[in-house]
Structure 1
Amino acid sequence: MDLNRKQIRRIGNCLGFLLFPFFATSSFGQEIKRDTVVVESNGKFPVVTNGFWDNWFVGAGAGTQIYFGDHNRQMKIGQLFSPAFNFYFGKSFSPGIALRAAVGGFKIVGLTQNGSHSTGVVYDASRSLTKQQFNYYQANIDVLFNVSNVLGGFKEDRFYALSPYLGVGWMETSDEPTAGEVSLNIGFYNTFRLSSGLDLVLDMRGSMVNDRFDGEVGESKVEGIWATTLGLAYKFRRRGWEKPKTTTISYDETALAALRDRMSALERDNQALRKLLDDSKNQTITDVNLQNRVLAAPILITFPINKSVVSNEARVNLGYFADVIKGDKSGVVYKLTGYADKGTGTSKLNQRLSKARAEAIYQVLVNEFGVPARQLLISHKGGVNNMFYNDPRLSRAVITIAQ
């Protein structure tokens, strides 16, 4: 095999480029002290605060309610119940605090003495009482306090959670005589976990309103409504909370020593090749036998959540990678394996996303940098658990390695 000086110099530069990361790692590795470990926090209370678009939820429910008016205590308890509904959306700002906006209401039944909202049906003629019925709606803002998370720490798979809440709102009748009043609310928001994104919700609410709300003023200054609804709440992605983590550094001294020996051998080979280049200035070199292939080092290209678009930064690294592949004429095949984060998305979605990521890297290498398609093999693994440092971001990736 005959090589001229220019070809040998190109081989030396290429090998030097490949060895640089190993030598750099070796020099930095000398700063790592034996038995040095960064401890990961495992406390149950600290969490990482999510962004504004995380931890939103929406829900709806239906049930029954009782209105406590001036004369309603004179009715039998079974006659006071009327249908109720509620619809709401909100956001959790931490595992312990959430804010929601809600609308609800429907129909109120009771008794009236002055004929306000009367149905005309006499209930007690001796007291001039007739049955009362009117429609109303209520809009309110509530602050929820998740005492289960506050007292027990956040647990993603907790089946039951209790969240007392306080709120303020506006109640208005839609039948004549109309009325509108400010309401003060207190309640208990009970959730039962059905899945990671869906909860069964039992909402028990008490609302206080001015005595004149039903069109009749009595001795009490306030009247109230107690409503209980059962429904469902859906939590949008991103949901849940992550505990603060730091990278844990650990190593095997024997494996580290073997790696250092290997790097030393590579460095000696590189020095020998450079000496060969220097000696070739005044002579012609023939029959140079390279016993080892020049392989491109494995690379990891990561992607944003739910994305398969290759960033410009990743393209720069792929360009260097492509130069090494094209410079090696042995025809080594490289496998492009796509991955997705198992904790995000369904199994079907993760299969499609991991495949799309591998194909995106393939298209960049072939179409932009001219890597022969026969030297690339595409594979995908779908959603996987955290592969590196317990960090889900490093699982949204494509790993490229020689076969």
Structure 2
Amino acid sequence: MQRFILSLALIGFIANAYGQVNNTKTQTIVNESKDRYKVVTNYYFDNWFLGISGGAQMLIGDHDKQMQFKDRLTPAVNAYLGKWFTPGIGVRVGYNGYKLKGLTHNNWSSALTHSTGEIYQDVKNSSDLGLLEVQKFDFNHINGDVLFNLTNILSGYREGRFYNISPYVGLGWAWVTSGEPKSSEPSINLGVYNSFRLSNAFNLTLDFRGSLVKDDFDGELGGRKEEGIVSGTFGIVYNIRNKAWNKEREIQVISYDETELNALRERVNQLANNNEALKKQLEEAASSTITDVKIERNVLLAPILITFPINKSTVSNEARVNLGFFAKAIKEGKSNVVYNISGYADKGTGTPAINERLSRERAEAIYNVLVREFGVPANQLTISNYGGVDNMYYDDPRLSRAVIVLGN
């Protein structure tokens, strides 16, 4: 009867201890919004961009109808620095220019119209034959633009989108640097800025710009009230400190109460001491048979989820804190329990080959932290990876860029 009572007491203590070990707390750190148009504004030094492009441009002048289109084209260069304040609104300042080419009447002084002295023979109106000369001049143009990303404004922000179209408006200052007269005038600018994503750091760009200046910009007053410069350039842009526009979101993090774990250790030690005391009492009672009850800690830890930024396998300090708790519990638990480290990637981002590599690197990163930094025995860990997967939790692709550590 005494042995039966002792066994029931030990079973009750062990069941209670096992229940306390699996008592975990869930902590909500952020609330995610389902509104795709609502994002969090980034810091001042985030989302700057630096671009350069080249292409062709032409002058819309007084005699452009008499000059063939191919003869009016000149090379164009464009360089700029800008920043996106939200996914839909950005600003930039830049430079474009080089040379412009057109026609001018030869009854004007060449010094006043930037004429080369060359008679243009391909005039459509024969009455103008011999009256129009080719003009060329160097010019510079600095400008400031406000860009409106219509893709994000109309369709909502989506990280990793391949194509974005951004109309823009702006003001500038243009001046002629060759010959006489030296023009220097304000400009009004309209255009369309197209970008094609290559990676998180680089985009290809296609920029169409139109600039409006006064009629005397080329040195000749004619029938137009204003003159214009149109250009199309193709180039590349580097995204400086490119940061994703975070939505307000919820992330569930599993944490462990160190106070409860310490209390559990003390109760197990007390249980072991009580066991020895009961054994001695039975011996003193001259019992013929004593049942030796051995207490073992057979604790299987709850799974732990660690998430990663897009296209990254770097373990954050916050994740290391949770991994430290997890590693301590593994080392103090039963040594024959094996835990599997499973790596995943977001199927909606990247190619299958990239996601396969990324899921493997994430699992290996968690393995290295547990073994090298926290001393978990390597024989208690296995690694597997599953490449890109569909949304595993809460229909949120960010929670699929993850590693799950689970006891077998």
TM-score, normalised to structure 1, is 0.67
Describe the shift of the 1:304–1:205 C-alpha distance in structure 2 as closer, same or farther (beyond 3 A).
Answer: closer
Describe the shift of the 1:307–1:199 C-alpha distance in structure 2 as closer, same or farther (beyond 3 A).
Answer: closer
2:376 maps to what in 1? 371
Structure 1, 272-281 or 159-168: larger mean CA deviation: 272-281
Q: Which amino acid aligns with 1:91?
A: K
Q: Which amino acid aligns with 1:115?
A: S
**Matching of residues 141-152 of structure 1 within 5 Å:** 141-147=144-150, 149-150=152-153
Match 1:98 to one of 80, 90, 100: 90
Instruction: Give the whole-Å Cα distance in 1 for the aligned partners of 2:35 and 2:354.
Output: 33
1:168 maps to what in 2? 171
Shift of 1:376: 1.4
2:330 maps to what in 1? 325
Would you say the 8 A contact 1:187–1:203 is kept in 2?
A: no
Match 1:282 to one of 273, 277, 283: 277
Describe the shift of the 1:60–1:173 C-alpha distance in structure 2 as closer, same or farther (beyond 3 A).
Answer: same
1:256 maps to what in 2? none
Q: Secondary structure of the residue that 1:94 maps to in structure 2?
A: coil
Q: Map Cα deviations across residues 306-338 of structure 1 (whole Å, 9 max, x no partner).
A: 554445554443344334333444512211123
Instruction: Give the whole-Å Cα distance in 2 for the aligned partners of 1:93 and 1:82.
Output: 35
Q: Map Cα deviations across residues 83-142 of structure 1 (whole Å, 9 max, x no partner).
A: 242434433323432223333333322233220322111358999653211232323221
**Matching of residues 249-264 of structure 1 within 5 Å:** none
Match 2:209 to one of 196, 199, 205: 205
2:299 maps to what in 1? 294
Would you say the 8 A contact 1:339–1:396 is kept in 2?
A: yes
**Matching of residues 18-33 of structure 1 within 5 Å:** 19-20=19-20, 22-23=22-23, 25=25
1:119 maps to what in 2? 116
Unaligned runs of 5+ in 1: 1-7, 30-38, 249-269
1:188 maps to what in 2? 191
Q: Secondary structure of the residue that 1:176 maps to in structure 2?
A: coil
Q: Secondary structure of the residue that 2:110 maps to in structure 1?
A: coil
- Note if 1:72 corresponds to 2:69: no
Match 2:72 to one of 81, 88, 92: 81
Would you say the 8 A contact 1:146–1:163 is kept in 2?
A: yes
1:60 maps to what in 2? 53
- Note if 1:136 corresponds to 2:139: yes
Q: Secondary structure of the residue that 2:279 maps to in structure 1?
A: coil
**Matching of residues 213-292 of structure 1 within 5 Å:** 213-214=217-218, 216=219, 218=221, 223-229=226-232, 231=234, 236=239, 238=242, 244-245=248-249, 280=275, 282-284=277-279, 286-288=291-293
Would you say the 8 A contact 1:137–1:173 is kept in 2?
A: yes
Would you say the 8 A contact 1:67–1:80 is kept in 2?
A: no
Describe the shift of the 1:220–1:300 C-alpha distance in structure 2 as closer, same or farther (beyond 3 A).
Answer: same
Q: Secondary structure of the residue that 1:284 maps to in structure 2?
A: helix
Shift of 1:184: 1.7
Q: Which amino acid aligns with 1:175?
A: S
Instruction: Give the whole-Å Cα distance in 1 for the aligned partners of 2:88 and 2:227.
Output: 28
Q: Secondary structure of the residue that 2:361 maps to in structure 1?
A: helix
Describe the shift of the 1:19–1:246 C-alpha distance in structure 2 as closer, same or farther (beyond 3 A).
Answer: same
1:264 maps to what in 2? none
Would you say the 8 A contact 1:65–1:81 is kept in 2?
A: yes
Instruction: Give the whole-Å Cα distance in 2 for the aligned partners of 1:275 and 1:81.
Output: 95
Q: Which amino acid aligns with 2:91?
A: L
Shift of 1:189: 0.4
Shift of 1:242: 5.7
1:265 maps to what in 2? none
Q: Secondary structure of the residue that 1:331 maps to in structure 2?
A: coil
Describe the shift of the 1:276–1:162 C-alpha distance in structure 2 as closer, same or farther (beyond 3 A).
Answer: closer
Instruction: Give the whole-Å Cα distance in 2 for the aligned partners of 1:208 and 1:189.
Output: 15
Q: Map Cα deviations across residues 152-187 of structure 1 (whole Å, 9 max, x no partner).
A: 655779898664322122323343347352432332
Q: Map Cα deviations across residues 47-88 of structure 1 (whole Å, 9 max, x no partner).
A: 4434542374746352342332xx425734647622242434
Instruction: Give the whole-Å Cα distance in 2 for the aligned partners of 1:289 and 1:223.
Output: 98
Shift of 1:297: 2.5
1:46 maps to what in 2? 38
Instruction: Give the whole-Å Cα distance in 2 for the aligned partners of 1:157 and 1:363.
Output: 29
Instruction: Give the whole-Å Cα distance in 1 for the aligned partners of 2:359 and 2:163.
Output: 35
1:107 maps to what in 2? 99
Would you say the 8 A contact 1:102–1:139 is kept in 2?
A: yes
Instruction: Give the whole-Å Cα distance in 2 for the aligned partners of 1:74 and 1:386.
Output: 59
| Percent of pairs with identical residues | 41
Describe the shift of the 1:231–1:65 C-alpha distance in structure 2 as closer, same or farther (beyond 3 A).
Answer: same
Would you say the 8 A contact 1:168–1:182 is kept in 2?
A: no
Instruction: Give the whole-Å Cα distance in 2 for the aligned partners of 1:322 and 1:158.
Output: 39
Describe the shift of the 1:57–1:45 C-alpha distance in structure 2 as closer, same or farther (beyond 3 A).
Answer: farther
Instruction: Give the whole-Å Cα distance in 2 for the aligned partners of 1:329 and 1:204.
Output: 68
Structure 1, 114-123 or 236-245: larger mean CA deviation: 236-245
**Matching of residues 301-340 of structure 1 within 5 Å:** 301-303=306-308, 307-329=312-334, 331-340=336-345
Q: Secondary structure of the residue that 1:283 maps to in structure 2?
A: helix
Would you say the 8 A contact 1:189–1:201 is kept in 2?
A: no
Shift of 1:148: 5.5
